[in-house]
Amino acid sequence: MGQGLRPLPVLQNWDCHACGTCCKEYLVTLSPSERKVIEDQKWDDVNELGGYSPFRFSGWPWARRAHLNHRPDGSCVFLDPKGLCLIHKKHGYDTKPLPCRLFPWVLIPSGNRWQVGMRYACPSASENRGRPMAMHTPHLEAFALELEGREGLQIEDGAELTEAPSIQGEGRPSWLRFRSSVDQLAGFLKAFPNDIGAAMRAGLHWTSHLRETNLAPLDDSSFQELTNLFADLARGEITTANPAPKTPSWIARLLFRQLAALYTRKDHGPKRGIARQGPITRLNAIMRFSWGTGDIPRLHSWMPHNTFELGELPGSPLSETEQRDLHRYYMLKIISGQFCGRANHGLSLLDGFESLAMTLPVLLWIRRLAPPSESHQTLIRALSIVDDHFGYNKMLGTAVYRLMHRILGGRGEIDRLIRWYGRTSQ
Ligand code: SF4
């Protein structure tokens, strides 16, 4: 008997539109049984797979992991010229490996249930194209059951799948505490439905109050009372006098550009940028992101072509549709818990929220590089570009990038960067 699903209370639609992006960009790791299914299908390497073997391997000889093989252009060996999956075509959808069927959904353990999340790296997800999430529930329930077996997780009725992510970085809270903190963060998005910047900044104020408090000795009800109080305080701090945004410090802008470079980098797949052109091009790009002047190196071929100077000028106001798209994205990331714990390099709830909030100035910066007539389309692409890395790029989990977020968060610079890249007048 498997555990249940915790659906997303967000207006999220999706269907696969067979763009083939995921089959050209991601390395699929196979479980032993998935590998056996493909072996038993007896693929003819020469006549069906263009001369490539179905698998490639990684890791030490005693712990080798099998993956679906890729062609030199990065596409999966099972992707046919029409963009269709050969395994699906020849043997049926159910014989595809679980990661291929699951993408772009993400299932995250949440107490004794699975929380549904999603990757906006799939263009159909960022564009909100397809049927409502509820229509996918039967499939997701079946995936959850399969995943419990694949990951060797606890599947007894009512048992917790894993421990809750930490809140402040130490100790393991109860799931009750964790979920109530997630609800507080989601509450800021509800409190500021037409101002995503204010919503995320309120969340940052709340996290900074929590950082200054020792939560460990509190029982669950005092914890909830105190975090509610901090939420009221944070909302008040955002709605009271709001002077014009201060220019972020030079260190904040330098770190911002390093993060922007990482989030807009694409080294593989069809939309890859210039980073694969050789060490000199790479060095030049590093230098330019450090100085922040002149043309912005196009690390992703989807990036608008423009200069660093233009990125510092005020942008056009976000339209209602853009506000809605950003709210949908951040609500999804928060409610699903995709911003911390196992889903985001083991970060605590507070660190994870800061790293999520830091994606907002990056998105706003990318948007303002395009002409106002293309803002919405650019923002949707920017969501795909940034979410391709968020929670998945291993660099973001390293000590260096954690420290960068801590410096920015600790000095109130993420708040300032959101206001700076969200401003619409000098
Ligand atoms: S990226 Fe999304 S829309 Fe494109 S093939 Fe993959 S699941 Fe389908």
Question: Ligand 1: which of 122, 302, 392 to mutate, most ligand atoms within 8 Å of CB?
Answer: 122
CA-nearest residue for atom 6, ligand 1, is 22
pTM for the model stands at 0.92
- What the block records as the tokens of 162 is 């894993």
Q: How far is the CA of 392 from the centre of ligand 1 (A)?
A: 17
Q: Which atom of ligand 1 is nearest to the CA of 103?
A: 7
Per-residue 3-state assignment (H helix, E strand, C coil) for 1-27: CCCEEECCCCCCEECCCCCCHHHHHCC
Q: Residues 29, 339, 136, CA angle at the centre, nearest 5°?
A: 65
Q: Which residues line ligand 1 at a C-beta cut-off of 6 Å? A: 16-22, 103-104, 122, 124
Task: Specify the DSSP element, H or E, that contains 13.
Answer: strand 13-14
Q: How far is the CA of 381 from the centre of ligand 1 (A)?
A: 14
- What the block records as the tokens of 214 is 């020792």
Over residues 177-194, the pLDDT tens digits come to 999 999 999 999 999 999
Q: Which atom of ligand 1 is nearest to the CA of 15?
A: 3
Reading the chain (426 residues) residue by residue, the pLDDT tens digits are 456 888 777 789 999 998 888 998 888 999 999 999 999 999 988 888 989 999 999 988 888 999 999 998 889 999 998 888 999 999 999 999 999 999 999 999 888 888 999 999 999 999 999 999 889 999 999 999 888 888 777 566 667 778 899 999 888 888 999 999 999 999 999 999 999 999 999 999 999 999 999 988 899 999 999 999 999 999 999 876 566 778 899 999 999 999 999 999 988 777 788 767 788 888 888 899 999 999 999 998 888 899 999 999 999 999 999 999 999 999 999 999 999 999 999 999 999 999 999 999 999 999 999 988 899 999 999 999 999 999 999 999 999 999 999 999 999 999 999 999 999 876
Q: How far is the CA of 24 from the centre of ligand 1 (A)?
A: 10
